[in-house]
Amino acid sequence: MSSFKRRAPAAHPPLPSTRISAANSTVLTSTGVPAIDALLGGGLPLHSALLLHADRFTAYAKLLLSYYLAQGIASANAICLADDDPQDFVQNLMAVVEGKVPTEVSSSEPDDEADDDDALVLPAAAGVRQLGATREADDTMRIAWRYQGLPKFDASVGVLGRRDVNSQQPFCNLFDLTKRITAAQLNAAGPRMALLDVSSLAADAEANGSPDSPSAYDTLIKSINDLIDHYGFRVRPGAPPPPTVLRIAIHGLGSPTWGPASPQRLAAFTHSLRAALRTSYATAVIMIPHSTPLATATTLAHLTDAALRVDSFAGSSSPVHPAYESQYHGFLEVLKIPRVGCLGARKGDVGRLGFKVRRKRFAVELCSLPPEGEGEGRGDDEEPAAAAGKAKRAHAATGGGGCGASSGGGGHNPLDF
Amino acid sequence: MSFPLVDAALNWQSPASVQPTRGLSSPSPTHRRQPDAAAVKRQAAGASSERTVIVVSDQVGAEGGFVLNHFIHRHLRLEEQGWIVVLVGLAQTWEHYLAVGKKLGLNIALSQQKGRLVFLDALTHLATGTGPFAHNEGATSATTAASPLQGLLASITAAYQACSSSPAQKKLCLVVDDVSALQSCGLPTKDVLAFAAGCRELVYEENGCLVLLAHGDSVAAGVDDDDGSGVICRSLIHSATHVLHVAALESGLTQGVDGQITFARGPLLRDEEGFNPEVLHYQITDAQINFFKKGFSKGLL
């Protein structure tokens, strides 16, 4: 008899819309953006908190927070949102594209026009592509045969979003930024949603007046703990896990509307939240405003499990290379990756990351400058195939993936967005 | 797993050389790759880790929590010498240390059952001041309840004294994961420093080894912090025998190297103890931690 045995099935069914990390066997949840999931090592692990440093003048970090919440609603998770106007925040979430998951950007639709195609007009787009097929065959770049089997260079991060075979719920959904979440979806998610209006908490705290009365932060952490206890998200030894996980989103921690806050109070709040997360089936995303002092932000980053900084070009105080500006909307910096219950290996390549927001995609790519002189020669789309190698290099650098000629319509300068 | 290169850098006897019976477990691959350097170091009169205070300073970009595993595991392996490990977790829960210990090949749950490891969960009790923070010794509670840190120190002492040890003489290895968290959460800086001094005193009494993790972002950057977050780290360094700075690579990012640890001499290290400052590079993978000498990374070679 073989000594190899099938591992006995887990005592409890896995939590829906979660995934077990193949690398370190932690339970992962999705942030709603496959690229961010990949940067964090597959997803945001259960019991951990992600800190988002907001960008200046723009709202890309808020967009990431919206993705996190929208993913929670799409996965039928329980949601707790702390914000100045949570009702407004939730109503303005993006719509989920039903029945589709983010897929790898194949060479048939590498550019952003294809990305912006609606599902309904896809057949037409396919037709266009067929028209250009002969051109495509001509333009296929010739490379030495020994390199043909090698994978194509791809600078983009984590565009894979597989549907998990053994669970009904996809790990990560596809969202459409041009549409808002429907009222029906919001109503359906209503019973699982807790909206905490922090400005009213702050007003209450101020009305109380006395220095001993609890501040908005104390009230907030208490209500989060009450939620966890009341709805059974607390980890109890021997007890089965709850039917779903809790997502805690905190928008604008420490903003002036939250009432007076010393760095110690913010840190104590974050530490208490960490303690609450470690003992419950929950994840959290905390967004701190751009005005947070650097020292406070550093302290908070130490007290959370992962930290991302979003820097948009629009709010950048220093000039940005025009080649970057034409390709990306800003830089994304991974300050810290989650290390909860694992050693936590750093994932991905070394280099600067840029992000761009498309209608259905929040793409993160390795930034690289195009070769010298590229981008100046506009209208070089009719260049012979001999130049395709150069175009390919330039395009691969922009992260479109795939050759210039296969970019759907043809006659498209890879740098011309 | 404990790491011969780290022991060599600290000029300590590696548990592998102390316990030749551990022949079954193969030496770590990093050790095998540079046998000469590690072996030569070990043959030089390796000191023991008794009466040492180690301060690990880290940064957001290069967390130092993984280094603590070395000290926990090293002292758990030195069972014959009567080491007892007390771990105070302010940053992580017991489950984390358990999972990481399993990855590195040591079942710390077993050590806990044997009474050689005590875990004090300070993370979930800090906000409420319960658990290890609420330790009071009889009637004196009303007067000494001034600081929850005094309660924590009393809990540490009590936990250590409750441990039995097979050799008559037992030694304490006290590991505090993240001292900075105490200060950043609003406890007065002087209380935190008094707590650290209390720990030091206890460790010197018991011929032990104290390992403290503190965040030194502003210390490494050399800037003056306005909120005093670097004060703890700076003050702790002043009363240490060894200082370990965990930082990102000074030459920038590289594939295959996550950061570097600088082993520096602390002010309390006696001159006659041989110690050479050294820099090791490290890489954290999902399965284990690799240490190597500068320039010996697989990613570079």
User: Does B272 touch chain A if contact means CB atoms closer than 8 Å?
Assistant: no
Closest CA to B89 of B247, B213, B231: B213
pLDDT at residue B35 in the model: 44
CB distance A275–B126 less than 8 Å?
A: yes
Q: Is the pLDDT of residue A380 over 90?
A: no
Q: Is the pLDDT of residue A187 over 70?
A: yes
Name the region of B51 (left: φ>0; alpha: ψ -120 to 50; beta: rest): left
Span A161-168, mean pLDDT?
Answer: 49
Residue B101 placed within a domain: yes
Tell me the DSSP string of A384-417.
-GGGHHHHHHHHHHHT--S-STTSSSSS--TT--
Instruction: Locate A317 and state its tokens.
Output: 């105080």
Chain B residues with CB under 8 Å of A309 CB are: none
pLDDT at residue B79 in the model: 81
pLDDT class of A129 with cuts at 50, 70, 90: very low
Beta bridge partners of A207: none
Span A252-276, mean pLDDT?
Answer: 90
Q: Is the pLDDT of residue A161 over 50?
A: no
pLDDT at residue A342 in the model: 87
Which chain B residue shows the shortest CA-CA distance from A338? B63
Residue B102 placed within a domain: yes
Which chain A residue shows the shortest CA-CA distance from B62? A336
Chain A residues with CB under 8 Å of B289 CB are: 343
Q: Is the pLDDT of residue B139 over 60?
A: no
Query: In order of start, what are the domains of chain A with their CATH numbers?
Result: 18-366 (3.40.50.300)
Query: How far apart are the CA of A85 and the nearest CA of chain B, in angstroms?
Result: 28
**CA distance to A30, A228, A392, B38, B112, per residue, from A42 (Å):** 8, 25, 29, 37, 32
Distance separating alpha carbons of residues B80 and B179, to the nearest angstrom: 30
For the ranges A142-151, A187-196, A363-372, B222-231, the lowest mean pLDDT is seen at: A142-151
Pairs across A and B, CB distance < 8 A: 107
For A:256-315, CB contacts with B below 8 A are: 262-265, 267-268, 271-272, 274-275, 278-279, 293, 295-296, 298-299, 301-303, 307
Query: How far apart are the CA of A263 and the nearest CA of chain B, in angstroms?
Result: 8
How do residues A73-125 score in pLDDT, each as one tens digit? 999 999 999 999 999 999 999 999 887 777 654 433 444 444 444 433 334 33
Residue B186 placed within a domain: yes
Sequence letter at residue A142: R
Residue B59 placed within a domain: no
User: Does A221 touch chain B if contact means CB atoms closer than 8 Å?
Assistant: yes
Summary mean pLDDT of chain A: 77
Main-chain phi, psi angles of A156, to 5 degrees: -75, 155
User: Does A347 touch chain B if contact means CB atoms closer than 8 Å?
Assistant: no
Chain A residues with CB under 8 Å of B285 CB are: 343, 345
Chain A residues with CB under 8 Å of B178 CB are: 302
For the ranges A163-172, A382-391, B202-211, the lowest mean pLDDT is seen at: A382-391
User: Does A335 touch chain B if contact means CB atoms closer than 8 Å?
Assistant: yes
Q: Is the pLDDT of residue A47 over 50?
A: yes
Residue B152 placed within a domain: yes
Tell me the DSSP string of chain B.
---HHHHHHTTB--HHHH-TTGGGSPPPHHHHHSHHHHHHHHHTTPBPSTTEEEEEEE-SSS--HHHHHHHHHHHHH-GGGTEEEEEEESSS-HHHHHHHHHHTT--HHHHHHTTSEEEEE-TTTTTTT-GGGG---GGGHHHHTT-HHHHHHHHHHHHHHH---SSSS-EEEEEEE-SHHHHHTT--HHHHHHHHHHHHHHHHHTT-EEEEEEE-HHHHHT---SS-HHHHHHHHHHT-SEEEEEE--TT--BTTB-EEEEEEE-TTS-TTS----EEEEEEE-SS-EEEEETT--TTT-
Chain B residues with CB under 8 Å of A341 CB are: 95-96, 99-100
Residue B301 placed within a domain: no
For the ranges A153-167, A224-238, A250-264, A348-362, the lowest mean pLDDT is seen at: A153-167
pLDDT at residue A246 in the model: 95
User: Does A346 touch chain B if contact means CB atoms closer than 8 Å?
Assistant: yes
pLDDT class of A42 with cuts at 50, 70, 90: confident
Distance separating alpha carbons of residues A132 and A201, to the nearest angstrom: 60
Instruction: Locate A151 and state its tokens.
Output: 């994978």
Closest CA to B178 of B104, B97, B99: B97
> Which of A51, A279, A336, A346 to mutate to probe the B interface, most B CBs <10 Å?
A346
User: Does A350 touch chain B if contact means CB atoms closer than 8 Å?
Assistant: yes
pLDDT at residue A116 in the model: 44
Residue B130 placed within a domain: yes
Which chain A residue shows the shortest CA-CA distance from B230? A295
User: Does B178 touch chain A if contact means CB atoms closer than 8 Å?
Assistant: yes
Q: Which domain holds residue B153?
A: 1-9+68-135+146-170+178-219
Total domains, chain B: 1
Q: Are A323 and A65 in contact (CB under 8 A)?
A: no
Which chain A residue shows the shortest CA-CA distance from B288? A343
pLDDT at residue A272 in the model: 94
Distance separating alpha carbons of residues B265 and B282, to the nearest angstrom: 20
Q: Are B100 and B69 in contact (CB under 8 A)?
A: yes
Q: Is the complex ipTM more than 0.90?
A: no
Q: Is the pLDDT of residue B245 over 80?
A: yes
For B:59-78, CB contacts with A below 8 A are: 60-61, 63, 65-66
Tell me the DSSP string of A202-215.
HHHHHHH--TTS--
Residue B238 placed within a domain: no
Span B102-126, mean pLDDT?
Answer: 91
User: Does B124 touch chain A if contact means CB atoms closer than 8 Å?
Assistant: yes
CB distance B255–A349 less than 8 Å?
A: yes
How do residues B87-100 score in pLDDT, each as one tens digit? 999 999 999 999 99
Q: Are B16 and B4 in contact (CB under 8 A)?
A: yes
pLDDT at residue B26 in the model: 41
